[in-house]
Structures are given as C-alpha cells and as structure tokens.
Amino acid sequence: MTAIPKVKVIAPVGPLRMGDSVEKMRSDFDQLLEAGTNNFIFNLSQVTALDSTGIGYLVRALNFSRQKGGTVKLVGLPAQVRNTLTITGLIRLFEVFDDDAAALASFV
C-alpha cells in the first residue's frame, strides 16, 4: 500500500504582488514547511494579478518544498496568470491542473 503524502492547499484571493499579500503567504508557507508539510497545491483561481514578487514567491515555494523532498503544483490558473507564467517561461517548472481533485490525485 502506497502512503498518501501530506498536501496543503493554499488558495490566495486577489492580487499576488509586492506587499502584504505575498508577505502573509510567505510567512504561512514557511510555518507549514517548518511543521513538516512539503507538498503544496496553490489554487490560483481567485488571483487577480501576478507581478514579479508573486512569481518570485511561487518559485521560492517550489524550491523550498523540493529541498524538503516535496513539490508545488498549480491549479486553476486565470488567463492573465497563465500568460504571465508562460511569457516568463516559468510555467514549465510547475505541474498545472484544472482543479484541486486532479492535483491531489497526482500525489498518489
């Protein structure tokens, strides 16, 4: 029997850009990582804007989770977020899913 990894879903709402929104998520992520969670799903379906700080945060989260043996998967990318990640070439770093259920299933 295969063990199901511990996965945390993070679902930011609004802009994911420089300022309080990214700092709060970074703090929450760091606490979860320190508590032993290393697999994350970022449901970005409610993200209205993504700037370089938000992109940096996603890449940082991916790198830190990989250092702990886990990963970050993205879900529900709005067109603007998908375009930004595609233009920067960073979308290829992440597995991308349409919904949380499909992303969760990919961890098994």
- pLDDT tens for 62-94 read 999 999 999 999 999 999 999 999 999 999 999
Count, in order, helices (H) and strands (E) of the chain: 4, 6
* pLDDT at res. 1: 42
Please report which helix (H) or strand (E) contains residue 102, including its range: helix 100-105
Range of the domain at 99: 7-105
* pLDDT at res. 46: 95
User: Is residue 13 assigned to a domain?
Assistant: yes
| Segment 25-43, tens digit of pLDDT | 889 899 999 999 999 999 9
Which CATH number belongs to the domain containing residue 87 in this structure?
A: 3.30.750.24
User: Is residue 45 assigned to a domain?
Assistant: yes
User: Is residue 76 assigned to a domain?
Assistant: yes
| Residue environment code for 70-79, b if the CB has 16+ CB neighbours within 10 A, otherwise e | bbbbbbbbee
User: Is residue 2 assigned to a domain?
Assistant: no
Reported confidence tier of residue 60, pLDDT bands at 50, 70, 90: very high
In this prediction the pTM is 0.91
* Count of the separate structural domains present in the chain: 1
